Chain A
Amino acid sequence: MIRVNDLYKTIGQVKALNGLSFHADNGTITGLLGPNGAGKTTCLRTLLGLLKADSGSASIDGFDIARQTQQARQQIGLFPDPFGLYERLTPREYVQFFAELNGMSSQAAKLATAQVLSLLRMDEIADRRCQGFSQGQRMKTALAQAIVHKPTNIVLDEPTRGLDVMSTRVLRELLLTLKQQGHCVLFSSHVMQEVAALCDQVVVMAKGRVVAQGSPAELCARTGKNSLEDAFITLIGTDEGIAA
Chain B
Amino acid sequence: MIRLFNTLFRKELLDASRDKRSVMAGLYYALGTPILMCLLFSVLLKQLSSTDELQITIENAEAAPALVHYLASKEINHGEGDKVKAIRLQLSTDFQQSMQQGRPAVVIIDADRSNDRLQSAIRRLERALSQYSNEVAHLRLLARGIDPNLLQAIDVQMHDQATPDSRGGMFLGVATLSIILTLFYAAMNLAIDTSAGERERNSLTLLLSQPLSSLQLVLAKVVAISCFSMAGLLLILVVSKFAYGMVPWQQLGFSISLNLDFMLFAIVVGLPLALMSASLQVMVSFMAKSFKEAQTYVTLVLFVPLVLSMVTTYNIADDYLQWLPIAAQQQAMIAFLKGAVIPVPQLMVSSVITLLIFGVCSYASSRLLKSEKVVFSL
Contact = CB atoms under 8 A, between A and B. Distances in A.
Partners in one complex: yes
Contacts of A48: 209
Contacts of B3: 100, 105
Interface stretch (B6-14, B41-49, B80-88, B182-190): B6-14
A93 interface: yes
Interface residues of B, number: 26
A97 B11 CA distance: 7
Interface string B360-378: 0000000000001001101
B210 interface: yes
Contacts of A85: 201, 203
A6 B201 CA distance: 32
Contacts of B210: 73, 98, 101-102
A51 B7 contact: no
B202 interface: yes
A117 interface: no
Interface stretch (A20-28, A76-84, A167-175): A76-84
A12 B15 contact: no
B14 A83 contact: no
Interface string A95-132: 00110111101100000000000000000000001000
A86 B203 contact: yes
A84 B208 contact: no
B15 A78 contact: no
Given A78-B206, A84-B202, A87-B201, A101 B211 contact: yes
B201 A84 contact: yes
B315 interface: no
B211 A74 contact: yes
Contact of A80 (B8, B206, B211): B206
B212 interface: yes
Nearest to B208: A50
A50 B214 CA distance: 11
A129 B375 CA distance: 26
Contact of B14 (A49, A51, A89): A89
Contacts, number: 76
B378 A12 contact: yes
Contact of A97 (B7, B208, B211, B372): B7
A88 interface: yes
A98 to B, nearest CB: 7
A195 B211 CA distance: 29
Of the listed residues A71, A98, A145, the one surrounded by the most CB atoms of chain B closer than 10 A to its CB is A98
A52 interface: yes
A234 interface: no
B217 to A, nearest CB: 10
A78 B209 contact: yes
Nearest to A105: B3
Nearest to B370: A52
Contacts of A52: 372
A50 B205 contact: yes
**Closest 7 A-B residue pairs measured CB to CB?**
A84-B203, A84-B206, A88-B18, A100-B7, A84-B202, A73-B211, A70-B211
Interface of A: 11-12, 45, 48-52, 69-71, 73-74, 76, 78, 80, 82-89, 93, 97-98, 100-103, 105-106, 129, 145
22 contacts: A11-B378, A12-B378, A49-B209, A50-B205, A50-B372, A50-B376, A70-B213, A73-B210, A78-B209, A80-B206, A80-B209, A84-B202, A86-B15, A86-B203, A88-B18, A89-B14, A89-B18, A93-B14, A100-B4, A101-B4, A101-B211, A106-B7
Given A83-B202, A101-B211, A105-B3, 9 more contacts: A12-B378, A50-B375, A52-B372, A70-B211, A84-B204, A86-B201, A88-B14, A88-B15, A102-B210
